[in-house]
Amino acid sequence: MAVIKYKGVGIIGMAACVPKNISRNVDLSDLIPPDEINKVINNIGIIEKRYVSEGVTASDLCFEAADKLLTDMDIDRNSIDMVIFMSQSPDHRIPATAPYLQHKLKLPKSTACFDLSLACSGYIYSLSTAFAFASQEGIDRVLLLDGETFSKIVSPKDKVNAPLYGDAGTATLIEKDNFSESIFTLYTDGSGQDAIKIKAGGARFPTNNESLISKKREEGNFRADIDIYMDGLEVFNFTLKVVPNSIKEVLSISNILIENIDNFVFHQANKFMIDFFIKKLKINPEKVPFSLDTFGNVSSATIPLTIVSRMKNQLNNQSKKVLMSGFGAGLSWGTAVLELDNCYICELIEI
């Protein structure tokens, strides 16, 4: 377990952007038998998701979020020292997407830019990275952009994944100031790398004609090797085993009682998992916001999207002790406890 502590660094603003296009799970009755569809919806808790139009990317959604955040907060764009783009759906394999966003946002050429790639734990990992850089001399403000367009990598004939994934882009602004201590704990179990995977497209299994063909798979699902695969049972069991323990550990390290946390923001994987965490850890359900019902699972972007879409009225001009927990492919998971002190939250953007 990696334990990382920061002081004098924090989040001052957040924004999120979702597509206007809506996909409702009740309309998947041609994929899932009509007598089962309502049961599936109730179990996963996802009624509808958002998906991008042709030609729209995760960076486009992140740009809209970042542009609004910087404009609404009247941030001098020359004051941004670094841009981190967290995504597993970048614009290109080469070059990185962060430099494109630096240029499009009209940030100075002195801005350091790079991409990070991690799945559902990615916001916790990339936020820790942003805090680490902002803690250094010479870097005062870091713009963290986290977005995914998983609708582009899900087979519409895969009844495991088709009801789950949506698209969104987010922006988080981090800076030096008089912030209290933040604590991050990060974990990895690479033995579970096959639990969530896109087989083709990397150097080990380059894309070829064969990998583009949709084939009948387990339980009658149809999927190509360029589509995402998930072993739902393995991921489910892994999550229920590790997440409650990681939360207990970070609270113990932080010397904070669970009842003194104002909000618990979990990665929005499915409702059953989050309900399990609430019951297992004896959390007041009113402290746990949900966004998966209307946005689905947007991988690493679910945590900032949940904060923007569900917690705006709670956070503007207030101080809250927040615990964030992300978990998923890798296998990888991370937890953070931090203060959101007078953090500015933009109105949710739809494009």
CA-only gyration radius of the chain, Å: 19
Confidence (pTM) = 0.95
Q: What are the structure tokens assigned to 264, written together? A: 């618990």
Peptide bond just before 156 cis, omega within 30 deg = no
Pairing of strands 349-350, 9-18: parallel
229 φ/ψ angles, rounded to the nearest 5 degrees: -115, 145
Q: Cβ contacts of residue 114 below 8 Å, gap of 6+?
A: 84, 85, 96, 98
The single residue listed with the structure tokens 């997407």 is: 97
Q: pLDDT per position in the chain (351 positions), as tens?
A: 799 999 999 999 999 999 999 999 999 988 888 888 888 899 899 999 999 999 999 999 999 999 999 999 999 999 999 999 999 999 999 999 999 999 999 999 999 999 999 999 999 999 999 999 999 999 999 999 999 999 999 988 888 899 999 999 999 999 999 999 999 999 999 999 998 898 988 999 999 998 888 888 887 788 988 889 888 889 889 999 999 999 999 999 999 999 999 999 999 999 999 999 999 999 999 999 999 999 999 999 999 999 999 998 877 667 899 999 999 999 999 999 999 988 999 999 999
Element (H, E) at 128: helix 122-134
> CATH no. for residue 35?
3.40.47.10
Pairing of strands 319-328, 263-266: parallel
Pairing of strands 196-197, 229-230: antiparallel
Work out how many domains the chain is built from and give that number.
1
Peptide bond just before 95 cis, omega within 30 deg = yes
The rounded distance, in Å, linking the Cα atoms of 175 and 171 is: 13
Q: Which residues are catalytic?
A: 120, 267, 297
Task: Give the domain range for residue 185.
Answer: 1-351
Quick count: other Cβ atoms within 10 Å of Cβ 13?
A: 21
